[in-house]
Chains A and B, each alone.
Chain A
Amino acid sequence: DADVTQTPRNRITKTGKRIMLECSQTKGHDRMYWYRQDPGLGLRLIYYSFDVKDINKGEISDGYSVSRQAQAKFSLSLESAIPNQTALYFCATSAGTGQETQYFGPGTRLLVL
């Protein structure tokens, strides 16, 4: 089984709808991250969390919110989706020690119509 899972893998929604993307991990890592990828722009950080009580905004947090329900779960919400939030969304985890390699989930492709 994959160490970092994301649900759903694909989602189509309409402008103004609320949507939640979920991430779960079995790696036992404290740190979790949400990124979005747009063509030609690489990955940009939306939110990150160092533990259940520590949540921080990344460089593009406007229009998004997160919830760290447990060490293993980190959810990303779009309160009112808009078309320019159409992107590939990644969840990632890292141990917070050593080289702190981030391990990524398979991604969620979101289309906002």
Chain B
Amino acid sequence: AQKITQTQPGMFVQEKEAVTLDCTYDTSDPSYGLFWYKQPSSGEMIFLIYQGSYDQQNATEGRYSLNFQKARKSANLVISASQLGDSAMYFCAMREGRGRGSTLGRLYFGRGTQLTVWP
């Protein structure tokens, strides 16, 4: 089974509008972390935001927020006030567990959502 599922291959949003990128995850580990990365057309992977499984509040970083619904196993990325420069591929990823002794620290990635922001 896929650890991370991103069901939206592509999304379109008008500049200055908000957009939500969906991500669901699958794990039985009570300790995990969820990440979102941005990949512009130049190819680099840029870390955006992190949510820990024990965090009580949704993570926020500037215009990015993570809508964390633990019971639903979803970790959607919300981008407010979209800008043209937000056009990129966005990846959701999960890290299971903590510490040594297993495949700890490795990330499982979804297939990504291509976001296009239009004027």
Which residues from 72 to 95 on chain A have a C-beta closer than 8 Å to any C-beta of chain B?
88, 90, 92, 94
A97 to B5 alpha-carbon distance, docked (Å) = 26
- Are B43 and A106 closer than 8 Å at their CB atoms? yes
| Residues from chain A with Cβ under 8 Å of B106 in the complex | 33, 45, 48, 58
How far apart sit A42 and B110, CA to CA, in the bound complex (Å)? 6
Contact of A107 with B43 in the complex, beta carbons under 8 Å: yes
State the interface size on chain B (CB cutoff 8 A): 23
**Contact across chains for A42 and B33 when beta carbons are under 8 A apart:** no
**Interchain CA distance A109-B43 in the complex, whole Å:** 9
Closest to A104 in B: B45
Q: Name the residue among A43, A92, A96 with the largest chain B CB count within 10 angstroms.
A: A43
Bound Cα distance A100, B33 (Å) = 9
Is A69 part of the binding interface, using a Cβ–Cβ cutoff of 8 Å? Answer: no
* B95: chain A residues within 8 A (beta carbon): 100
Bitwise interface map of B from 8 to 52 toward A, beta carbon under 8 Å scored 1, else 0: 000000000000000000000000010101000001110100101
